[in-house]
A and B are shown apart, each in its own frame.
Chain A
Amino acid sequence: MRPLRNVIYIQTQNAWVHKDNDNLVMKVGDEIKARVPIHKLQGLVCFGQVSISPYLMAHCAENAVTITYLNQFGKFLARVEGPVSGNVLLRRTQHLTGANRDKSVAIARTMLSGKLYNQRSVLRRYLRDYGDKENEQTMSAELATAEKRLSRCLQQLTDCDAIDTLMGREGEAAQVYFGVFQHLIRQPDFQFDARRRRPPTDPVNALLSFCYTLLTHDCRSALETTGLDPASGFLHQLRSGRPSLALDLAEEFRPMIDRFVLSLINKRQLSLKDFEEWPNGSFTLKEEPRRTLLAAWQDRKQDTLTHPWFEESVSVGLLPWLQAQILARFLRGDCDSYVPFLWK
């Protein structure tokens, strides 16, 4: 497998990032804070007031290092990209496939199968680790029921022959899964009753939303590297400005993100005081704990696991790229189905 290159997240305000030979150098005032060889990078993500020299930008563009600008709360602003991957035949096949109802449904179904399968893995892992603790028997019973209902939803996906019914099943599975999510949280301070976005109204939802954004960025980069059009999806509706295919691809990885968020909370890497509550009742992560989260996220991406389809050990950070590859190879006719990542 190819080496996993790093994504650097820069959130120091007023940082100046430039190129020094083949290194990226970050300065704040006159002080050099970091120096990294550029060939080890896959992407740069800048939060807020971060400046990048045009020469570094050009060098990144030539070497397929993506630069993404977010505002200081993580909202997407812009991205800088070089003239890479012009696989027009792949994109054309993608668009034609997207316009074909049956083919779109087939791909969307495999992707959602992956998502439900992986949601079930999250519950199963918990049941395996904590299911026999006596004081938790009610919870375990509820989790076991939820696990069975997810299995049923997963089977029922096979019969769905329209995007609407697929979405219906997916919604049902989400209710079952998030209905017992609170049982997976082992820190009593953190309460969760339902998935709420726009805006997240509690710390757990704030964490989920923030991490899903990171995931979508990674999926988008993976698709672009592979030559796929991130805007043209099969499950998510096309809408100008929406990375529909990146959202499609992210579906199968969301449960891994959920598990990552749970571990941050359960291992007490974050606490309630790391969050800021806003007058509208929404929550965001403060700057310093966001640093903790991003460092943990980078560590997580270095972990390796066995990819069931490739039967090969791969790092977590490469998974979106591998899945984008499978999708591209499927669209170009190498195999008879897209194969989602199944988290064993």
Chain B
Amino acid sequence: MDLEPIYLSRLQHYLYCPRQFALIELEDVWIENQFTAEGKVLHQRVDQPDKQKRGDIRTVRSLRLSHSTLGIEGVADVVEYHRQPDGTEQPYPIEYKRGKPKSHRADEVQLCAQALCLEDMEGLAVPEGALFYGEVRRRHGVDFDEALRELTLQTIQACRDIVQTKATPKAAYQAGKCRNCSLIEQCHPQDFTRPASAWLAQQLAQD
């Protein structure tokens, strides 16, 4: 039986917060906020399926990707094919992000997962790619080294576990993250840490 596909874009949700991943994946929760809306506008510009050729670089936009055994799929914003001296083409994935480079590795993992798909589909090694950040308007090269590949595979497995158990992890409140999360109204990260039945019994007993 085929594995249920896990979308490339969801890996970064998992790394941001496993519960956020579960709320979106299992519970169909999605709320637009300023950040998601900005991301969408940015992508509307990138996401026109399109091919271009300039010098030694052939650019393909909105390329559908999947991996035959890992069970991941999604769409790459941009894949550049760099013509090599021997005439072959080297795929080079580029992912567009609003904002600026982040301290956590969620964006790199998403890009690395695209590289894994490209390797599987094209049958050749994809050693590097780039992230383009809208706020600083700059490309950051990313090496798909062993550590990043390992983290990416672990993340895919962790997502798969959630999809298979269908259990939403409990909230773990972190002020900085939660405040920027578009799902905070659905998640209630601080509200269910108290025992509800004891609270209710106490309220009803008060006169």
Contacts and interface: CB of A to CB of B under 8 A. Distances in A.
Are A and B interaction partners? Answer: yes
Interface of A: 1-2, 85-90, 110, 113, 117, 151, 154-155, 158, 227, 308-310, 325, 329-330, 332-340, 342
B204 A338 contact: no
B196 interface: yes
Contact of B185 (A1, A88, A155, A227): A1
B161 to A, nearest CB: 15
Contact of B27 (A117, A310, A332): A332
Contacts of A338: 196
B185 A333 contact: no
Contacts of B195: 335-336
A117 B204 CA distance: 8
A333 B28 CA distance: 16
Interface in B154-207: 166-168, 170-171, 185-186, 188, 191-192, 195-197, 199-200, 203-204, 207
B27 A87 contact: yes
Contact of B207 (A85, A151, A158, A332): A151
Contacts of B185: 1-2
B26 interface: yes
Contacts of B166: 89
Contacts, number: 59
A337 B197 contact: yes
Nearest to A307: B191
Contacts of A113: 200, 204
B103 to A, nearest CB: 29
A333 B196 contact: no
Given A334-B170, A335-B195, A340-B200, 17 more contacts: A87-B27, A88-B28, A113-B204, A117-B204, A158-B204, A227-B27, A308-B203, A309-B196, A310-B188, A332-B27, A332-B168, A334-B168, A334-B192, A335-B192, A336-B196, A337-B197, A337-B200
B196 A339 contact: yes
B203 A342 contact: yes
Contacts of B28: 85-88, 227
A89 B171 CA distance: 18
Nearest to A90: B27
Given A113-B200, A154-B204, A329 B26 contact: no
A218 B198 CA distance: 29
B200 A110 contact: yes
A306 to B, nearest CB: 13
A337 B168 CA distance: 17
Interface of B: 26-29, 166-168, 170-171, 185-186, 188, 191-192, 195-197, 199-200, 203-204, 207
Given A117-B204, A309-B191, A336 B197 contact: yes
Given A2-B185, A90-B27, A227-B27, A310 B196 contact: no
Contacts of B200: 110, 113, 337, 339-340
23 contacts: A87-B26, A87-B27, A87-B28, A89-B27, A90-B27, A110-B200, A155-B204, A158-B204, A227-B27, A308-B203, A309-B191, A309-B196, A325-B188, A329-B192, A330-B196, A332-B168, A333-B167, A334-B170, A334-B188, A334-B192, A335-B195, A337-B196, A339-B200
Nearest to A84: B28
Contacts of B188: 310, 325, 329, 334
B137 to A, nearest CB: 30
B203 A325 contact: no
A154 B203 CA distance: 12
A325 B186 contact: yes
A22 to B, nearest CB: 15
A335 B186 CA distance: 14
A330 to B, nearest CB: 7
Contacts of A117: 204
Given A2-B185, A89-B26, A227-B28, A335 B196 contact: yes
Contacts of B168: 332-334
A258 B119 CA distance: 66
Q: Indicate the member of B188, B191, B197 with the most A CB atoms within 10 Å.
A: B191
A41 B149 CA distance: 46
B37 to A, nearest CB: 12
B197 to A, nearest CB: 4
Contacts of B196: 309, 330, 335-339
Contacts of A85: 28
A74 B188 CA distance: 36
Nearest to A151: B207
